Structure 1
Amino acid sequence: MRYVEEFRDPKAARALIARIAEVADAIGATKDEPVRIMEICGGHTHAIFRYGLDKLVHEGIEFIHGPGCPVCVLPMARVDECVEIAERPGVIFTTFGDAMRVPGTKGSLMQAKARGADVRMVYSPLDALELARRNPDREVVFFGLGFETTTPSTALTLLQAAREQIPNFSIFCNHITVPPPLKALLDDPWMMLDGFVGPGHVSMVIGVHAYDFIAADYGKPIVVAGFEPLDLLQSVLMVLEQIRYGRAEVENQYARVVPEHGNPISLKAIDEVYEPRPSFEWRGLGEIDASGLRIRPAFAAWDAEEKFGIGYAAGPRHVAEPEGCACGQVMTGRIKPTACPRFGAGCSPETPLGALMVSSEGACAAYWQYGGARVAAE
C-alpha cells in the first residue's frame, strides 16, 4: 500500500536503528543513564509496542508514556456525570466506543445501558445529530470527548444543529487541549525528560508552533511524528541529533500530513464554538488552567452542562481513584504499567479498574496486548 509499505521497510529500519545506536553512544546514553523520550500520544505508544521498537533501539533509549489519549485522562467524576445524564428519563446518550467501558463510581456507560439507560455507540457526532432529528420527543446528548483531533467535528456538528434549530440535541463537552498538560509535566520537578515525540493527529489540526514553548522555555527538543515504524525511528533519531548538538527545536517529521500552521477551517470552527475553561481536571494531573474547552454562551441551548445543570456548570467535583489504582502515575510517566499493584491483579481488559486498560490507546492496554506483561501478571 502506498504511503504505508515504504514506512515499514526492514532495510531502512535497520539503518535507522544503527544510526540511533551510533548517536546514543556518542551522547553517552546507557541502560543505567538513559535518554528519556516521552511519546505524548497513545497511538505512538501502541505502535512502539506493536512493532517492538522499545526492544530494537539502543538500550540507552527509554520511552516514557505520556498523557496518551482523552479517554485515559478522563477523571472518574466526569464518567459519573455521563451516567447521571444517561439514566435520566427521555435521554438518548451517545458516545464513541472507547468511552463505553471506562469505569466510574457508578459503573460504566455500558453498565448503565445494561441497567436500562438508552446508551448508544456512534461513529461521529453527526450520527448523534441524526438521532435527534429522528427522535424529536427525546433528548439526544453527545459526549464530546477528545483532544484537538476530534474537537472540530463536534464544533461543526453543533453549528449544524444551531442552523437547523434542533432543540433536542446537546453536547456534553469534555474536549481538552494538549499544550497545557505538557507544561504541567515540564513544571513537575519529578519529571525528568530529555525530549518529546509529538502527537501526529492533534498537530494536523493545531500545527507545530503550539509546541514552541517546549523548546524556547524548557530547552527540550520535540519532533512531531507519524505512526509507522520508520516515522517513529526517524523521530527518535531527530530528537537524539538535537541533544547531541545542543539544540532544542520543534521539528516536523510528519510533514506529509501535518501543516506548519494547522488546519485553518478546523481552527476557525473551534474558535467559533468553544472558549477555554478556567481549569479542567485531568486524571493523574489534577486541575490544569485553561486546558479544557467549554461551549460559548451563544450556543448554551446546545450545551448539556447548562441544559441538565451538571458538570462544571454545577461546580467541579473530584472522585478518588480505586484503591491501589496507579493510573495517574502511569499516565504521567512516573511508573510503568507493570509497576501498578492492580495490573493483572483485578485490572485487565475484561475487568478494567482504570481507563488506561480500556482505551485502544492506553499504555496499560499496550503492555497487556503487546508487551508480554499479561503472562507475567498471571
Structure 2
Amino acid sequence: MKYVDVFRDAELAHQLARHIHQQADPGRHYRLMEFCGGHTHAVFRYGLPALLPDNVELVHGPGCPVCVLPVVRLEQALELSRLPEVILCSYGDMLRVPAGKGQSLLKARADGADIRMLYSPLEALTLAQQHPERQVVFFAIGFETTTPPTAVLIQRADEMGISNLSVLCNHVLTPAAMHAILTPREGEATAIDGFIGPAHVSTVIGSEAYAPFPRQFGKPVVIAGFEPLDLLQAISMLVGQLNRHEARVENQFSRAVTPDGNPKARVLVERMFERRSSFEWRGLGEVPASALKIRPEYARYDAEQRFELSAPRAREHPACECPAVLRGQKRPDQCRLFGTPCTPDNPLGACMVSSEGACAAWYRYNRGRIAMQERE
C-alpha cells in the first residue's frame, strides 16, 4: 500500500479515459459487468462512469455474498437462533438482511436470541470453548475469498476435539454464477459483453478458473484491482478485445493474482468441502454445482445435519427489484423502493444492506445527483 497513490493519479486516469474514448466504436454499445461488489463501490467512489463514453456501460453483478443469499437460508439461521441451547454467530452485514415478515437476525437478537457478530470465524471456536454447555453455530457465507477461513475453523475444531461447534455453510462459487448469468434464460437475452473479474476471489482461485468463459461463450474476462487506474485499464483491455473480436482471460491485477491462485488455500478447501448438486441464489434461482457443503467425514460440524433443519418457504419484499439488479437487468435506481422507503438505515432488500451491495453504492454516491434530477 506504500505506492497506492500511484494507482489513484488523476492525470493518468484522465489519460486512460481519453484512450477509452478513442477506442470505443461509436457504432456499438459495450455492456461490461463488474462482478465484485468492491469494484461497484470503487466505480462510484471515484466517479468512473463520468469519465467513460456514453456507449461504455458498467453493469453491476451479483458480487455481494450477502445479496445473493436466498431468504430461505436466512430463515434457517433464524430457526437455529430460536433454540435456547444455540449461540448463532455471523458477519455483521448478515445480521441486518431482511427475511420474511420483516424479520432479521438483528431483530431476533433484540427479541432475546443469542446472536453474536464476528470478525473472524475463529472467534466461534473461542466461544465454543468458553460455553461448553451451549451449541455454537457459525452462519458461514461468502465467495471463495471467505471459504478458506471457514475451512480453517473446521480443521482447528477437529484437531482440538471441539464437539459443540457446527457450521451452517452457505459458501458459493463465482465461476458458476458467471456461467448462470451468461446462460440465456427463457424470455431473456444475454446482454453482457465482458466481465471485469473479481480481485480478492481471483487471488484464491487464480486467473485460469475463468478460462471456460471465453471458450464457451465468447466473452472476455479481465481481472482487475480495486483502484481507479486498475479499473480503467481493465475497461480499456475489455474494449480492445471486443474491438478485435477476441475473447480471452487477461490479468490486469498481476501484482496480486497468479494463474493458479493460492494452492494451499485451495487444497484446504477441497479437503473440507465438496460441491452441492444445486444451490439457490437470490436473483439467479437454482444454479447447478454453485455452492459448497461440508464433506461427510466432517459431518459432525455440519449444522444442517446436526439440527435437521427444515426448508421453510420464505418470500422477499414483493416490490424489491434486488433479483433484477443482481442479474444486471436493472439499475438500483429503477427499483420503485429505492431511496424511499428503502435506504441503508431502513433496508428492504439485501442489496441495500450490505456494504458491497449495488443499491447501497448507488445510494451512497449518487443520491445527490438523483435528487437534483428529481427537482429538474
User: What secondary structure does 1:68 align onto?
Assistant: coil
Letter of the 2:60 partner, please give it.
H
Structure 1: segments with no counterpart, 5+ residues:
none
1:163 to 159, 171, 185: 159
Q: Structure 1 residues 133, 351: CA separation in 2 closer, same or farther (over 3 Å shift)?
A: same
Name the counterpart of 2:182.
186
Q: Give the structure 2 partner of residue 77 of structure 1.
A: 72
Task: Tell me which moved more, 183-192 or 85-94.
Answer: 183-192
Q: Equivalent residue for 1:99?
A: 94
What are the superposed Cα offsets for residues 271-311 of structure 1, whole Å, 9 maximum, x if unpaired? Answer: 0000000100000111100001000111111111111111x
| Residue in 1 that maps onto 2:212 | 213
Match among 298, 320, 323 for residue 325 of structure 1 = 320
SS in 1 for 2:219: coil
2:358 maps to 1:355 = no
What SS does structure 2 have at the residue aligned with 1:301?
A: helix
Q: Give CA deviations for 1:236-279 in whole Å, capped at 9, x if unaligned.
A: 00001111112111000001011110101110011000000010
What SS class does the counterpart of residue 170 from structure 2 fall into?
A: strand
Whether 1:28 and 2:23 are equivalent positions in the alignment is no
| Amino acid across the alignment from 2:11 | K
Counterparts of 1:1-378 in structure 2, within 5 Å, are 2-24=2-24, 27-28=25-26, 33-105=28-100, 107-188=103-184, 189-310=188-309, 314=310, 318-372=313-367, 375=371
- Asked if structure 2 preserves the Cα contact closer than 8 Å seen for 1:344 and 1:377, the reply is no
Q: One-letter code of the match for 1:43?
A: G
1:324 match: secondary structure:
coil
Partner of 1:72, secondary structure, is: helix
Question: What is the RMSD of the two structures over their aligned residues, measured on CA atoms?
Answer: 1.4
Q: SS of 2:68's equivalent? A: coil
Amino acid at match of 2:145: T
Shift of 1:318: 4.8
Per-residue CA distance 1:200-239 (angstroms, 9 max, x = gap): 0000100011111111111111100000000000000000
SS of the residue 2:232 aligns to? helix
Paired with 1:191 and 1:362, the residues of 2 have a C-alpha distance of 22
Using a 3 Å threshold, how does the CA distance of structure 1 residues 137 and 228 change in structure 2: closer, same or farther?
same
1:132-182 deviation per Cα after TM superposition (whole angstroms, max 9, x unaligned): 111111111111100000000100110110111100011110000011111
Deviation of 1:56 after TM superposition, in Å, equals 1.2
Read off the aligned partner of 1:135 and give its amino acid letter. H
Structure 2 counterpart of 1:39, which letter? E
Letter in 1 for 2:61: G
Tell me the secondary structure at the aligned position of residue 38 of structure 2. helix
Shift of 1:346: 2.3
The one-letter code of the counterpart of 1:46 is H
User: 1:374 deviation in Å?
Assistant: 6.3
Q: How far apart are 1:34 and its partner, in Å?
A: 2.1
User: How many percent of aligned residue pairs carry the same amino acid?
Assistant: 48
Mapped contact 1:176–1:291 kept (Cα < 8 A): yes
State whether residues 87 and 114 of structure 2, in contact with CA within 8 Å, keep that contact through their aligned partners in structure 1.
Answer: yes
Give the paired residue count: 369
- Structure 1 residue ranges, 4+ long, deviating more than 6 angstroms after superposition: none
Note if contact 2:99-2:316 (Cα within 8 Å) is conserved in structure 1: no
